[in-house]
Amino acid sequence: MPQFTNQPPKDTHQHNFRLIRTPAGTPFKGFVLSQTLVGCPTHYIGNRTVPCEPENCEACDNGLGWRWHGYLLVMVQATSELVIFEMTATAAEKFTEYYQRHGTVRGCHFMASRVNNRPNGRVLIIAKPADLSQIHLPEPTDCKKLLAHIWNIAPNQVTQDGPNHRPPTESLHVDRSKPELKPGAKTYTSLAQHRDAIKANAGNGNRSTQQPDDT
């Protein structure tokens, strides 16, 4: 007998968050839901950004360059969709300044655009406090857990340091030596994906460490 309900499960979209960057053309406008930035060193492998894994990082061992990226959970102004906004350290400085003035980045209304509307153009961010009397901000989901899900990492393998030299950013690290939460769970394959991508690059004679753009 079907168990009918008049509402969908509340956790239907628990992990369904798009990861977006500043687009070319029309500026991106949104409201920050996170209390603070979270970020980590990353590698660009196989047309995607993946976290650098200290101590056992095969990408580093094979000479691939790394780049710090920061992340915020954001509500898109035009659609109210909840997304993860990705940015480089340079672009993140505006949110660092905002945090230093207000003690949080939650409630920040920002606009992100690219110089000359080019896909790899430098990102410009304008940030100001939102008028919270005119908008309701949902409670934030833990951005670190969302990133672990996107990167196919068991949540208990993610550790966190205190603020680093770019306050209020928190640093994430991945320790693959820790057991996964559930015995017999799926084996995570990020390192294998690194290895395959590195072999493919070596076969093409391409060892470039250039990143795709300045987000």
pLDDT tens readout for residues 162-208: 544 444 455 566 666 666 655 444 443 445 555 565 565 554 444 44
Q: Per DSSP, what are the bridge partners of residue 178?
A: none
- Mean pLDDT check: name the lowest of 22-36, 94-108, 127-141, 166-180: 166-180
Per-residue model confidence (pLDDT) at position 193: 54
pLDDT digits (tens, 9 = 90+) for 31-45: 999 999 999 999 988
Question: What distance in Å separates the CA atoms of residue 90 and residue 124, rounded to the nearest whole number?
Answer: 10
Average pLDDT (50-59) is 82
Q: pLDDT tier at 104 (50, 70, 90 boundaries)?
A: very high
pLDDT digits (tens, 9 = 90+) for 60-74: 888 888 899 999 999
- Averaged pLDDT score across all residues of the chain: 78
Q: pLDDT tier at 49 (50, 70, 90 boundaries)?
A: confident
